[in-house]
Amino acid sequence: MPRGPRRSTPHRTRIGKLRHQSGYTQKDIARLTGVSLSTIRRLEGGHFDQPPLRVLVNYAHVLRVPLSRLYEPSWLTWKAFDADAPKPPQLPPPAALAGLTWPPPEDAER
């Protein structure tokens, strides 16, 4: 249960700040999200390069905030997973996509 405001301590991540503002302890969040306390500590300490989406979704539900409030800017940058795709794809401008339909015509008949 939220315990109300406590003394202010610096937090490394947005998720840690939001949890602190909510009045929950890390132990509370671990119990309510079903995630281990060590994972909560690592997440709030900024030790995750790409935290699991399921953990973030549970956190957002407990804190009653939109998922987007939890994102760190570094989590939203392009991440190359192999040497064949080291850069983000070059997408056509939105106007070039305006005439596309779904499903594509060749799939519509199946």
Domains in the chain, start-ordered, CATH in brackets? 14-76 (1.10.260.40)
pLDDT lower than 50: segments of the chain: 8
Distance of alpha carbon 11 from alpha carbon 26, whole angstroms: 12
pLDDT of residue 103: 61
pLDDT of residue 74: 85
b/e sequence 53-80, b meaning 16+ C-beta within 10 Å: eebbebbbebbebeeeebebeeeeeeee
pLDDT of residue 53: 93
Q: What is the pTM of this model?
A: 0.66
